[in-house]
């Protein structure tokens, strides 16, 4: 990971792919895995520079003193300013997908195209917020290992859990490598995010909506409805994958993203 110090806070990030390419793909990670979840994507897109920021509190990035989904998005935009990237394709998984809407609220002109993966546009329902409040307490009282215990069955599809235990082991290590406060702050961001559904009809860039067929957190039917609200969006389901489809079935995920990227070249 590289580190940039911006506004007196550090932001960790990784540069992968073709570092000299003029085209940039920004990958924004899910909760609570961190930037390492994009290892299968780092060199999967020929002709593209890949920027993978670590959100506040993850992988060495400093906490944001006023955390919100739009503040997280602003941090990503500041990093791109630092890297002299004016416009990019943005891909976000779960929490990273919520951040895509923050980008659209702030600087939509910088979004060349977008991938929304295993995410949703709606805000949390009351019962979901109640569950997140408990998760905050778990993070602060019991730490990342307890978060991994609770989240792994929800993050990974049944096929992955039963047939690919090495993926579950890798995700557990990623979660346990984070800090309690970073995880707790991210949960508070998740539960306070606004309803972004009204933004869907305003999206006028090429958009891919992709979901694991076994995703229980953001089910395929819900994501297909979201895709239907975006003009011209392409909807792809990935078999034998859950909420972290990019990590569970990387070849299928990368192929779907490559279709989008190739159309822009």
Would you kindly state where each structural domain of the chain is located, as residue ranges? 2-122+195-264
Q: Using one digit for the tens of pLDDT, what is the confidence trace for 29-50?
A: 999 999 999 999 999 999 999 9
- Note if the bond before 32 is cis, omega within 30 degrees: yes
Q: Using one digit for the tens of pLDDT, what is the confidence trace for 96-112?
A: 999 999 999 999 999 99
Pick the CATH number of 2-122+195-264 from 3.40.190.10, 3.40.50.1820, 3.40.390.10, 3.50.50.60: 3.40.50.1820
pLDDT at 54 over 90: yes
Count Cα neighbours of 61 within 13 Å in the Cβ-side half-sphere. Answer: 29
User: Which of 115, 47, 99 lies closest to 256, judged by CA?
Assistant: 115
Other Cβ atoms closer than 10 A to 232: 10
Q: What is the DSSP letter of 56?
A: T
- Exposed (0-12), middle (13-18) or buried (19+): which is 7, by Cβ within 10 Å? exposed
Q: Using one digit for the tens of pLDDT, what is the confidence trace for 158-189?
A: 999 999 999 999 999 999 999 999 999 999 99
Alpha-carbon 222 to chain mean position: 17
pLDDT at 193 over 90: yes
User: Which of 189, 179, 190 lies closest to 147, judged by CA?
Assistant: 179
| Spatial distance between the Cα atoms of 29 and 14, rounded to a whole number of angstroms | 12
What pLDDT, on a 0 to 100 scale, did the predictor assign at position 73? 97
Beta strands in the chain (DSSP E): 2-6, 9-17, 23-28, 48-53, 88-93, 111-117, 207-212, 234-238
pTM: 0.97
Integer angstrom CA distances of residue 83 from 15, 101, 214: 10, 21, 37
Mean pLDDT (the chain, rounded): 97
Using DSSP's 3-state secondary structure scheme, residue 213 falls into coil
Q: How confident is the model at residue 63 (pLDDT cuts 50, 70, 90)?
A: very high
Instruction: At 253, list the tokens.
Output: 């995920």
Residue 59 backbone zone (phi > 0: left; psi -120 to 50: alpha; other: beta):
left
What pLDDT, on a 0 to 100 scale, did the predictor assign at position 182? 97
Q: Across residues 9-18, what is the average pLDDT? A: 97
Q: Using one digit for the tens of pLDDT, what is the confidence trace for 224-243?
A: 999 999 999 999 999 999 99
User: Which of 207, 206, 204, 210 lies closest to 223, judged by CA?
Assistant: 210
Q: Across residues 122-147, what is the average pLDDT? A: 94
Q: Virtual CA dihedral for 70, 200, 225, 237, nearest 10 degrees?
A: -70
pLDDT at 70 over 90: yes
| Residue percentage of the chain with pLDDT more than 90 | 97
What pLDDT, on a 0 to 100 scale, did the predictor assign at position 265? 86
């Amino acid at each position: 990971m590289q580190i940039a110090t911006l506004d007196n806070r550090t932001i960790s990030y990784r540069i992968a792919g073709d570092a000299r390419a003029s085209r940039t793909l920004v990958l924004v990670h899910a909760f609570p895995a961190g930037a390492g979840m994009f290892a299968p994507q780092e060199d999967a897109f020929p002709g593209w520079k890949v920027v993978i920021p670590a959100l506040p509190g993850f992988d060495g990035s400093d906490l944001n003193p006023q955390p919100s989904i739009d503040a997280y998005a602003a941090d990503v935009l500041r990093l791109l300013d630092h890297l002299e990237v004016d416009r990019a394709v943005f891909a976000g998984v779960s929490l990273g997908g919520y951040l895509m809407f923050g980008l659209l609220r702030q600087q939509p002109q910088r979004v060349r195209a977008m991938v929304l993966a295993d995410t949703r546009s709606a805000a949390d329902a009351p019962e979901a917020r109640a569950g997140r409040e408990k998760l905050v307490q778990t993070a602060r009282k019991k730490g990342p290992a307890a978060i991994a215990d609770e989240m792994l069955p929800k993050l990974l599809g049944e096929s992955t859990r039963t047939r690919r235990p090495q993926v579950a082991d890798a995700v557990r290590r990623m979660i346990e490598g984070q800090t309690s406060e970073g995880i707790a702050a991210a949960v508070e961001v998740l539960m306070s995010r606004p309803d972004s559904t009204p933004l869907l009809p305003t999206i006028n860039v090429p958009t891919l909506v992709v979901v694991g067929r076994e995703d229980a957190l953001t089910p395929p039917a819900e994501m297909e409805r979201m895709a239907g609200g975006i003009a011209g969006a392409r909807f792809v389901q990935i078999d034998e994958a859950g909420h972290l489809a990019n990590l569970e079935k990387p070849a299928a995920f990368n192929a779907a993203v490559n279709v989008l990227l190739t159309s822009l070249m």
